[in-house]
Amino acid sequence: MKNRTWLSVGFALLPIIASLVITSVLIIAVGSNPVDVFVAVTEGAFRDSRAFAGVVNFWIPLALCSLGLIVTFTAGLWNIGVEGQMMVGAVFASYAALFIDLPGPVLIVVEILLAMLGGALWAGLVGFLKTRLAVHEIFGGVALNALANVWAIYLISGPWAPPSGGTAQATAPFKESAVLPPISPEFPVSLIALLLVTAGLVLITFALSGTRWGLQLKATGKNSRSALLLGVPTNRSAISALVVCGALAGIAGSYRVLFTYESLRPLASGGIGFLALLVVLLVGLRPLFATLVGLAFAVILAGSTRLKVALQLDQSLAGVLQGFIVLLVLLSNGLRQRFTPEPTGVETPKPTATVEIQRTQEHG
């Protein structure tokens, strides 16, 4: 048992250490000092409160998308369409910001609710294509990502174009009452968004571990055929997982337009949805770990902007580090499964998700 524990710890630390070593070798190969690079990245992320606010502003939508993707991964679904769900959420929130006239606090609530609705509807369309027309969620998600981006560009350059004339750059800036207020000028981060992330973390953790719906998602993800035989509504579970993820992605998209840009822009999602997929691949189905790893990624990306100024290095070096971490984590997971298999022999009384559902049904 102790050997298995040490092996598990070793396989968890191995990809991080290996990725740092490989990146350091690459930095040395281009004639720079790895220590200077890591110091520059740290200073770029933490040099003052406004720099750290940039980290948090990138982390907020990343954490929301990661939490949503944990739900779909639990149900065995690859929700590649999370980028499109962010964009549609941004479009719905932008509609409210541009055309609905309400007092500031009420308008912000309406914007967030509309963003959730837009993301949920777009994700629900992926579920409909999968369950009714047998279109795999990967293909459906990729197609809907493209449609969401095209729709946003059409609105920006056409019906929602600024009064000065059509442009594909952005809509007119939102009115002050429509944007999310910052905590302070020195720390420009939305407290509302931070509260939403905290609520999302608590609710998703509880829903997956302490509710019947969470058990149904786990059963569907582990073996949908067995779950169906036990009476689990697998199609409904899959669609509900996508809808929840879409709603969270919609909030993430609304944050990008209501706070980061204060207008609707093409590709406002900024690839955050795809990065969230990598985060969830790294941490598995652990919501708290997803938020922490997402924060680490935000630090690396935000801090890397200082590399160009301080060391004349391209900031894409941060992407190299992230890529190595992801690849090595996947390799480490494969090695861990090979060298630390589940113990064989007498079965331990640890029920699977489907058995827990069956027991719940038997006892009413």
Return d(Cα 56, Cα 72) in angstroms, integer. 24
Give residue 167's pLDDT band: very low, low, confident or very high (50, 70, 90). low
Q: Which residue has the higher pLDDT, 45 or 356?
A: 45
Tens-place pLDDT, residues 256-266: 999 999 999 99
Contact 259, 283 (CB under 8 A): no
Give residue 347's pLDDT band: very low, low, confident or very high (50, 70, 90). very low
Residue 79 above 60 pLDDT?
yes
Give residue 348's pLDDT band: very low, low, confident or very high (50, 70, 90). very low
Instruction: Report pLDDT for 194.
Output: 97
Give residue 327's pLDDT band: very low, low, confident or very high (50, 70, 90). confident
**Domain CATH number, residue 19:** 1.10.3470
Residue 287 above 80 pLDDT?
yes
Number of domains into which the chain is organized: 1
For residues 284-299, one letter each, b for 16 or more C-beta atoms within 10 angstroms of the residue's C-beta and e for the rest, the string is ebebebbbebbbbbbb
Instruction: Report pLDDT for 5.
Output: 62
Q: What is the percent of the chain where pLDDT is above 90?
A: 57
Give residue 351's pLDDT band: very low, low, confident or very high (50, 70, 90). very low
Neighbours of 181 (CB within 10 A): 15
- What's the domain range around 310? 2-362
Type of residue found at 195: L
Burial of 301 (0-12, 13-18, 19+ CB in 10 A): buried
Instruction: Report pLDDT for 344.
Output: 43
Instruction: Report pLDDT for 349.
Output: 38
Type of residue found at 118: G
Tens-place pLDDT, residues 9-60: 666 667 777 777 887 887 788 777 888 878 888 888 888 899 999 999 999 9
Contact 269, 253 (CB under 8 A): yes
Contact 278, 264 (CB under 8 A): no
Angle (CA) 278 7 321, round 5°: 30
Summarize the confidence of residues 229-247 as an average pLDDT.
Answer: 94
Task: Tell me, letter by letter, the H, E, C secondary structure of the chain.
Answer: CHHHHHHHHHHHHHHHHHHHHHHHHHHHHCCCCHHHHHHHHHHHHHCCHHHHHHHHHHHHHHHHHHHHHHHHHHCCCCCCCHHHHHHHHHHHHHHHHHHCCCCHHHHHHHHHHHHHHHHHHHHHHHHHHHHHHCCCHHHHHHHHHHHHHHHHHHHHHCCCCCCCCCCCCCCCCCCHHHCCCECCCCCCCEHHHHHHHHHHHHHHHHHHHHCHHHHHHHHHHHCHHHHHHCCCCHHHHHHHHHHHHHHHHHHHHHHHHHHHCCCCCCCCCCCHHHHHHHHHHHHCCCHHHHHHHHHHHHHHHHHHHHHHHHHCCCCCHHHHHHHHHHHHHHHHHHHHHHHCCCCCCCCCCCCCHHHHHHHHHHCC
Residue 364 above 60 pLDDT?
no
Instruction: Report pLDDT for 211.
Output: 93
